[in-house]
Structure 1
Amino acid sequence: MAEAQQGPRARYREQTRAEIKEAALRQLADGGVAALALTRIAKDMGLSGPALYRYFASRDDLLHALIRDAYDDAASAIGAAAARSVDAAQSPRERLRALAVAYRAWAVGEPHRYLLIQGAPVPGYVAPADTLDRARAVLGPFLPVFAGGTPGAGVAPVVAQMAAWLDGDPAVGGWVAEYVADAAGPAGAAGALAGALLAWAQLHGSVGLEAAGQFEGMGHSGGTLLDAQVAMLADAFGLE
Structure 2
Amino acid sequence: MEAEPRRTPIRERFREQVRDDVKTIALEQLADGGAQAISLNAIAKELGVSGPALYRYFANRDELLSSLVVDAYSDLRDALARPVGAGERRAEERGAGENARIRRLARAYRVWAQEQPHRYELLFKPPLPGYDAHSTQISEAGRSLMGVVLGVIDGGSDATTSPLDSAEVLHARSTGAPNFQLAVRVWSRLHGFVSLELGGAYNAMSVDADALFDAEIDVLTDGGEL
| TM-score bracket for the superposition, by shorter chain length | 0.7 to 0.9
| One of 169, 191, 216 as aligned partner of 1:175 | 169
Match of 2:196 among 201, 209, 230: 209
Whether contact under 8 Å (1:108, 1:211) holds in the other structure is yes
User: What does residue range 95-174 of structure 1 map to in structure 2 within 5 Å?
Assistant: 95-120=101-126, 122-127=128-133, 128-146=135-153, 174=168
What residue in structure 2 maps to residue 50 of structure 1? 52
> How far apart, in 2, do the equivalents of 1:108 and 1:118 lie?
15
Q: Structure 1: which amino acid aligns with 2:49?
A: L
Question: Which runs of 5 or more residues in structure 2 are unaligned?
Answer: 156-164
CA distance in 1, matches of 2:85, 2:187: 19
Distance 2:128 2:84 in 1: 31
| Alignment match, 2:72 | 70
Query: Whole-Å Cα distance in 2 between the matches of residues 221 and 136 of structure 1?
Result: 32
Matched residues in 1 for 2:65 and 2:145: separation?
Answer: 19
Gaps of 5+ in 1: 149-170, 179-187
SS in 1 for 2:222: helix
Q: 1:139-187: CA deviations, max 9, x gaps?
A: 2233255458xxxxxxxxxxxxxxxxxxxxxx98831668xxxxxxxxx
Q: Distance in 2 between matches of 1:92 and 1:176?
A: 22
What is residue 161 of structure 2 aligned with on the other side?
A: none
The aligned amino acid for 1:212 is G
Residue 94 (structure 1) aligned to one of 97, 100, 124: 100
CA RMSD, Structure 1 to Structure 2 (Å): 3.1
Q: How far did residue 28 of structure 1 move?
A: 0.6
Cα distance, 1:125 vs structure 2: 0.6
CA 1:86–1:198 in structure 2 vs 1: closer, same or farther (change >3 Å)?
farther
Shift of 1:71: 0.6
Residues matched between the structures, number: 206
The structure, 1 or 2, with the larger RCO (C-alpha pairs under 8 Å, 6+ apart) is 1
Query: Structure 1's 193 and 172: CA in aligned 2 closer, same or farther, altered over 3 A?
Result: farther
Distance 1:189 1:198 in 2: 13
Identity in percent: 39
The aligned counterpart of 2:7 is: 5
* Equivalent pair of 2:70/2:138 in contact (CA under 8 Å): yes
Query: What is the distance in 1 between the residues matched to 2:127 and 2:138?
Result: 13
Whole-Å Cα distance in 1 between the matches of residues 66 and 181 of structure 2? 29
Distance change (3 Å), C-alpha of 1:53 and 1:62: same
In the alignment, the residues of structure 1 paired with residue 70 and residue 85 of structure 2 have an alpha-carbon distance, to the nearest angstrom, of 22
